[in-house]
Amino acid sequence: MTGQENPFYAYYDEVLAILNRYDVTISLGDALRPGSIADSTDASQVTELVELGLLTKRAWARNVQVMVEGPGHMAIHEIEANMRLQKRLCHNAPFYVLGPLVTDIAPGYDHITSAIGGAIAGASGADFLCYVTPAEHLRLPDLQDVKDGIIAAKIAAHAADIAKGVPFARDIDNKMSDARRRVDWEEMYTYCIDPEKARLYRESVAVEDANTCSMCGKMCAVLTTNRILEGLDLGL
């Protein structure tokens, strides 16, 4: 609109000198990231990614660390290729993605659409997930929106860590599995991402047997299997 270059781009070397002096890591944003799945992996996005790769090398040459921001909105089948493309064009610099949101038709639930994309992106090489709240595209988030968004992103990131074989990532899942095998509800709560919600849901419906939940009640498959393995009467 002004006919002038972006000052952060025009004076990039001067900015890098300041960042180097104060040991600051720069996040190279993608102004042309897709705002809907109709825009994903288009020429503008890919061309900008090439430029981000050049800016990354210029920053490294001045001893400034970099992370590169990515999409955005993107259909599921395009995510893995985009992660690989970024790693190639940006010289394996850490990649930071906003989701990506895998569909555009779920306002009010975009923490879910972004978590789906985030899990796939993380498993395919993304290094950092930006959380998205249910209020995305609708309004500024409130406290509950922020909590829901962060939890959804944590679930996606943890799922990706498991898929990538990150050391010890599965340990807490294995502990949860063992606690479920023993039907130790109190221990299960300690491994939950949101223990308060887990406890609230289970205790919201009364059950005859304190060891069960209202989903299966006395027909609980785990309790039944434990009784069989212990040679006990099924008690049905």
The half-sphere exposure of 18 on its side-chain side, counting CA atoms within 13 A, is 6
Where a domain ends, among 143, 164, 185?
A: 164
Q: In this structure, what token pair is assigned to residue 178?
A: 């063992």
Range of the domain at 222: 171-229
DSSP letter assigned to residue 28: E
Would you say residue 52 has pLDDT above 80?
yes
In tens, the pLDDT along 67-89 reads: 999 989 999 999 999 999 999 99
Same domain, 121 and 28: yes
Q: What are phi and psi of 56, to 5 degrees?
A: -60, -50
Q: In this structure, what token pair is assigned to residue 66?
A: 């970099």
Same domain, 105 and 22: yes
Same domain, 123 and 25: yes
Q: Which residue has the tokens 């502990």?
A: 175
Query: What CATH number did the domain enclosing 154 receive?
Result: 3.20.20.540
Query: Looking at the 3D structure of the chain, how many domains does it have?
Result: 2
Same domain, 118 and 144: yes
Same domain, 120 and 83: yes
Same domain, 45 and 124: yes
Same domain, 25 and 88: yes
Cα 109 to chain centroid, rounded: 15
Q: CB atoms < 10 A from the CB of 71, how many?
A: 28
Q: What are phi and psi of 158, to 5 degrees?
A: -65, -40
Question: pTM, whole model, 2 decimals?
Answer: 0.90
Same domain, 101 and 192: no
Where a domain ends, among 164, 199, 214?
A: 164
- Amino acid letter, 2: T
Where a domain ends, among 116, 143, 164?
A: 164
Q: 189 lies in a domain?
A: yes
In tens, the pLDDT along 157-210 reads: 999 999 999 999 999 999 999 999 999 999 999 999 999 999 999 999 988 888
Cβ contacts of residue 227 below 8 Å, gap of 6+?
Answer: 233, 234, 235
**Closest of 7, 81, 10, 94 to residue 45, by C-alpha:** 81
Same domain, 69 and 153: yes
Pair 194, 152: CB distance under 8 Å: no
